[in-house]
Amino acid sequence: MRTTLLKIKTVSKATFESLRIRNYRLYFTGQAISLSGTWMQTIGQSWLVLQMTHSGTQLGLVTAAQFLPMLVLGPWGGLIVDRFPKRKILYFTQSISAVLALTLAVLVATDTVQLWMVYVLSFFLGLTNAVDNPARQTFVTELVGDDRLANAVSLNAIQINLSRVVGPALAGTLIATVGIAPLFFINAFSFVAVLFALRAMNGAEFSPTKIITRASGQLAEGFRYVAKHPVLYNTLIMMAIIGTLTYEFTVSLPLLAEFTFHGSAGTYAVLMASMGIGSMIGGVYTASKKRPTRKSIVVSAFFFGVTTLIASAMPTLILEIIAIAFVGFSSIIFLAYSNIILQLESVPEMRGRVMALLAVAFLGSTPIGGPIIGWIAEHAGPRYGLVVGGIAALVAASIGYRSLRRA
């Protein structure tokens, strides 16, 4: 009994190791609050577009508008991150995100919002995220160092998916009781938590990465660097396939909720919360593990595909909710392992550009995948959007497996 308790205590200590660092605790807390607001806005915006258009294609196009800048400008965003202090970048990007959320809140509250306005605000949020995303990813390394990076990335996954539970749950309640506008107001003010956390950090405790000086050819240098390293290259190829067609849940799940199960915004929120619970458990699992291997990424991609295909076939809402939790579990393991491998296999002065390419593969592919999945779900049925995503994950796993055998 004592041996068992000691093992549990050891695993628990290892799982939450990074939280012993004050700067990381501040960042973790601020992000948890802000990301809950972000998920509230995600639910609200998706439901707003469906109310205005009743079109899966339009929902996919709005999602695409948000992530198009990541696809086109993501590599430049990574270069900016390599050239400037991450903390200063985050001050700027988080402030801009708050202003954009507040603008949408006012438009919805005053009943003056039109579809083109949602497109424009989504596009500018995408521009901001093209820099913000790689900055946030690499900033974690400065807070905890390389030794704790795997643990910190996994804890970030827990945090993101805890907010995926809290945010949608609050969103569904607010939409049913007071409407959509409060979701955007809450998201706007949630960014204050991140700004406060950044201000309260002790810069002397950072492990800053090298800031590169401006020079010609640095963008191309990032592409060449990835091309010369098979681990980085193959991981990004797998992420590009899965990011394009499998991770389009902000398109497929609201359509599944409304048209397959004839539900409301609350149904969509429950599905998102279920995915968040599964992802949170997956995050705890990865946080308790040591550095992943290339085999870990292939196996997690395979199970991601299998669980997504199973979810596509669930006949009732209750079974769908359960299946979506398993999708969340496998998806976050794949994402966390990919993130860890890419950061640890990259030299510090290249991490901004490498992580920007991860963002391009994961988020920037949405302008391609979002409309495709939206069109398939609208014309063939929402279940087929999940089927395509599941097959894509299996294809990515097979590519990763072949590269492993060659290695």
**Average pLDDT, rounded, for the chain:** 87
The residues, ordered by sequence, that sit 6+ positions from 9 with a Cβ below 8 Å of its Cβ are none
Q: What is the pLDDT of residue 295?
A: 87
pLDDT at 12: 53
Q: Which residue has the higher pLDDT, 384 or 213?
A: 384
Q: Is residue 98 part of a domain?
A: yes
Q: Contact at 8 Å (CB) between 287 and 15? A: yes
> Which residues, 6+ apart, have CB-to-CB distance to 45 below 8 Å?
62, 104, 118, 122
**Across residues 304-320, what is the average pLDDT?**
96
Q: Residue 136 corresponds to which tokens in the numbers above?
A: 């946030």
At 5, the pLDDT band (50, 70, 90 cuts) reads: very low
Round to whole Å and give the CA distance between 115 and 106: 15
Write out pLDDT tens, residues 257-280.
Answer: 888 898 887 888 889 888 888 888
279 neighbors 330 (Cβ within 8 angstroms): no
Please compute the mean of the pLDDT values over residues 25-40 and round it to a whole number. 91
- Mean pLDDT across 359-388: 86
- pLDDT of 1 higher than 60: no
- Note down the domain range covering 221: 18-201+216-406
Average pLDDT over residues 127-150: 88
Confirm whether 211 is domain-assigned: no
The answer on pLDDT for 316 being more than 80 is: yes
Q: What is the pLDDT of residue 7?
A: 45
Domain-located, residue 182: yes
Contacts 24+ apart (CB under 8 A), 345-348: 345/229, 345/231, 345/232, 346/225, 346/232, 348/141, 348/209, 348/210
CATH at 351: 1.20.1250.20
**Is residue 209 domain-resident?**
no
| Predicted structure pTM score | 0.76
Question: Which of the two residues, 217 and 385, has the higher pLDDT score?
Answer: 385
At 22, the pLDDT band (50, 70, 90 cuts) reads very high
For residue 254, tell me if it sits in a domain: yes
197-254 pLDDT, tens digit per residue, is 999 999 888 887 778 877 778 888 989 999 999 889 999 999 999 989 998 887 888 8
Say whether pLDDT at 196 is over 70.
yes
CB 242 within 8 A of CB 297: no
Q: Residue 12 falls within a domain, yes or no?
A: no
Instruction: Tell me what pLDDT residue 277 has.
Output: 86
Name the DSSP class of 16: T
The pair of structure tokens assigned to 322 is 């359960």
- Looking at residue 4, its pLDDT comes to 44
pLDDT at 345 over 80: yes
User: Helix, strand or coil for residue 73?
Assistant: helix
How many angstroms separate the CA atoms of 65 and 25, rounded? 33
Indicate the range of 78-82, 147-151, 181-185, 237-241 predicted with least confidence: 147-151
Count of domains observed in the chain: 1
pLDDT at 92: 96
Note the pLDDT tens digit of each residue in 89-119.
999 999 999 999 999 999 999 999 999 999 9
Is the residue at 324 inside a domain? yes
**DSSP, residue by residue, 335-390:** HHHHHHHHHHTS-GGGHHHHHHHHHIIIIITHHHHHHHHHHHHHHT-HHHHHHHHH
pLDDT surpassing 50 at residue 6:
no
pLDDT for the residue numbered 27? 94
Q: Report residue 407's pLDDT band, with 50, 70 and 90 as the boundaries.
A: low
Burial of residue 51 (CB within 10 Å: 0-12, 13-18, 19+) is exposed
Within a domain: 155: yes
Higher pLDDT, 12 or 92: 92
